[in-house]
Amino acid sequence: MNIFVNGVSYHVERYGDGEPLLLLHGFTGSVETWKPFLPYWRDYQLVLVDIIGHGLTDSPNDPARYEMEKAAADLDEILRYFHLQDAHVLGYSMGGRLALTFAILYPHRVRTLILESSSPGLKTMQERRERMKRDEALAEEIEQYGVTAFVEKWENMPLFASQKRLPLSVQQQIRNERLNNNALGLANSLRGMGTGRQPSFWNRLSKVNVPTLLLCGEWDQKFCRIAEEMKEYLPNCEMIKVLEAGHAIHVEQREIFAKIVSRFITRRRV
């Protein structure tokens, strides 16, 4: 279904009738990211959202409309639309950064927080400026050469090297999901909610009191280091390093990922 939220048409899909679990995909993803988990999470009310600029959700012309704080406000409205007081929130990579933003700005809306291969942003303004320059160059490249050329480059990044181990059919599914995005949406997502553009939330982690689970894949050393450091600041947190997985644990170790999420929610629900 499409929901008009703060001037933007959002594509949202909902399944089941149990406790609500809000699912947020990564950059170049969509609600399709989470479809394989429908059989695993039948006991939950799953709320799948195409984040602004992705999938079937609108791609506004103004990059400022993609800012993390505004995207988090959109999530608040989506929960309100479904008459949901709060939800368990799971986000992957960019979706994890959005999930963390939501937990910081709307703590009363979050029952538990699960962050897969994510971060609270960059610590210094210098790091942020350098990252914004790289993201702007990438955004211009997407606009100039199109989504297909970008996806070819994106899927060959070292961050996703471990996905080459997946069956070809699964690799093609991931590729198709990425290709079903549009150049304007992806470019403006980098400009508006890229890691350099978002605020640094390192100094606010100590205020996140909801039960939090950090997940990283053992082959994703960068994000495991980030998770280890985040764990030192989050007061109600545990971390799991998943073996034989890289950045996208949910596709590289699907069944294990599904069980970890279910068990955490069952144990830590408030």
CATH number, domain containing residue 28: 3.40.50.1820
pLDDT category of residue 204 using cuts at 50, 70 and 90? very high
pLDDT for position 270: 55
Could you please report the per-residue DSSP string of 27-41?
A: TT--GGGGGGGTTTT
Q: What tokens appear for 211 in the block?
A: 């039960």
| Domain of 27, in residue numbers | 2-268
Mean pLDDT of 70-92: 98
3-class DSSP state of 135:
helix
pLDDT at 255 over 60: yes
pLDDT for position 6: 94
pLDDT in tens, 40-78: 999 999 999 999 999 999 999 999 999 999 999 999 999
Share of the chain residues as helix, strand and coil, in percent rounded to the nearest 5: 50, 20, 30
Look at the chain and report how many structural domains it folds into.
1
pLDDT for position 269: 65
pLDDT in tens, 166-181: 899 989 999 999 999 9
Rounded CA gap, 34 and 23, in Å? 7
pTM for this one? Answer: 0.96
pLDDT category of residue 107 using cuts at 50, 70 and 90? very high
Q: 53: left (phi > 0), else alpha (psi -120 to 50), else beta?
A: left
